[in-house]
Amino acid sequence: HDSLTGLANRSLLHQELAAAIGAAERDGHLVALLDIDLDRFKIVNDGFGHPFGDVVLQAVARRLRALVCLDDTVVRMGGDEFVILTPRVSRTDDIEEMAQRLVDSFAEPFMVEGRRVHLTGSIGITFYPRDGDTGTELIDNADMAMYHAKSAGRSAFRVFAPEMAEEAQRRTEMEIDLRGAAQAGQLWLAFQPKVDLDRDTITGCEALLRWDHPKHGPISPVDFIPIAEDSGLILPIGEWALETACRQGRAWLDAGLPPVSIAVNISAAQLFQRDPVAWVAGTLERTGFPADLLELELTESQLAQDVETAIDVFRQLRGLGIRLAIDDFGTGYSSLEYLRRFDVTSLKIDRSFVDGMLAEPGDAAIVRAAIALAHSFGLSAIAEGVETEAHRRCLRELRCDQIQGYLVSRPVPADEFATLLLR
């Protein structure tokens, strides 16, 4: 059993699945497999150094257990992913109703240790024998269906369909196209201003990758970055992005524009490659872009992949004089311990909290706490996804240092950004 949640673990699942498939073959009924993944795993640290996330996962496990039948097997697959095995099913409708009940119950906020937790879950479903011959196939296809539920807007369930395998095929094709995209000049960087709230001026920008596909038109980084990460292409593409951003920054300085910092997003694979510090240092040297104007943004979930190495690399990168930001802050397992040990310069509050801050008291509390946390560690706080004047006013009241979002400007090509700087 899983030591954290007390649920069954993967190896138990495979045993139970094999037994269920055997029985179904004999008696002619169906077996159902539900793959569940939490969508908005908003973790607020309990303030005492151990992740509040563990307690939330335990509460989720208890909830799942309470919502299923006695002879169902509930499994924690690791992280915030769970599987439910229903060994004896006669109507697929029954399972779809159960999935809907699970989705609805997730969407209800619940209290854990006196805190209101709001998260949603996405579910993918497969049935034996229709959607796979073996346990592994059923699990893989349910996972595929779960991703479809997630990309359909989260908090939903999807039953596996063979078209979903076709989509996997499209991903493979996209990977092949992406391989040649940089050399073919299809990639470019857009720049989005960061505004200092006290001075009301642009003090920096974030460089965001853009891909103009010759056949399919613009493809969002939300769609191609995960493919680049899965295929290892993120290394050459990420190199191209950093190099291009630094060259652009140097060109702006040479053109006599006011100096602004440039933030570049870095994926885990780039941070944990052989010598990330030599790569960054080499790029700065080649391009002549000042180190103190470069900022790298990394998400908590990327750092979590290897905390000790990340801490070490961060220290060396800071030694170069560059700035480091924790991106999408509030969406992962951040603990105070983390913040103390990571040598970072700013926290970037995830746009989902900014988005909900005026309507959801929970989101407002997270934004307020994140800003206070940043300041107590001597870090600067930046809010992303700032779309309205009301957001700006509220963030100024909360003493947030910088804002970034459509209110100021969408990400724009380099020449347009230069115009914004001179305005």
Question: How far are the Cα atoms of 34, 83, 128, 138, 154 from residue 132, in angstroms, in the given order?
Answer: 13, 16, 6, 5, 25
Q: Binding partner of residue 241 among ligand C2E, Ca ion, none, CB under 5 to 8 Å per kind?
A: ligand C2E
- Of all residues in this chain, which one has the CB nearest to ligand C2E in the complex? 405
355 binds Ca ion (CB under 5 A): no
Stretch that binds Ca ion, among 16-24, 230-238, 279-287, 320-328 (CB under 5 A): 320-328
The H or E element spanning position 202 is strand 201-213
Phi and psi torsions of 211, nearest 5°: -125, 115
Q: Are 344 and 325 in contact (CB under 8 A)?
A: yes
Chain residues that interact with ligand C2E, rule: CB under 6 A: 192, 208-209, 220-222, 225, 238, 241, 265-267, 297, 327-328, 351, 384-387, 405-406, 411
Pure H helices in 290-335: 300-303, 307-319
* Min dist. Cβ of residue 192 to ligand C2E (A): 6
What's the token pair of residue 188?
């470019």
Here's the x/- map for Ca ion, 64-103, by CB under 5 A: it reads as ----------------x-----------------------
Stretch that binds Ca ion, among 265-273, 312-320, 370-378, 414-422 (CB under 5 A): 265-273
Residue closer to ligand C2E (CB basis): 209 or 414: 209
Residue closer to ligand C2E (CB basis): 141 or 346: 346
Q: Are 269 and 212 in contact (CB under 8 A)?
A: no
Q: Binding partner of residue 37 among ligand C2E, Ca ion, none, CB under 5 to 8 Å per kind?
A: Ca ion
Separation between Cα atoms, residue 319 and residue 325, nearest integer Å: 15
37 binds Ca ion (CB under 5 A): yes
CA neighbor of 206 nearest in space, from 241, 240, 164, 170: 241
Separation between Cα atoms, residue 51 and residue 61, nearest integer Å: 16
295 binds Ca ion (CB under 5 A): no
β strands within 39-89, DSSP E: 73-78, 81-89
The H or E element spanning position 212 is strand 201-213
Q: Binding partner of residue 17 among ligand C2E, Ca ion, none, CB under 5 to 8 Å per kind?
A: none
List residues near Ca ion by CB under 5 A: 37-38, 80, 265, 297, 327-328
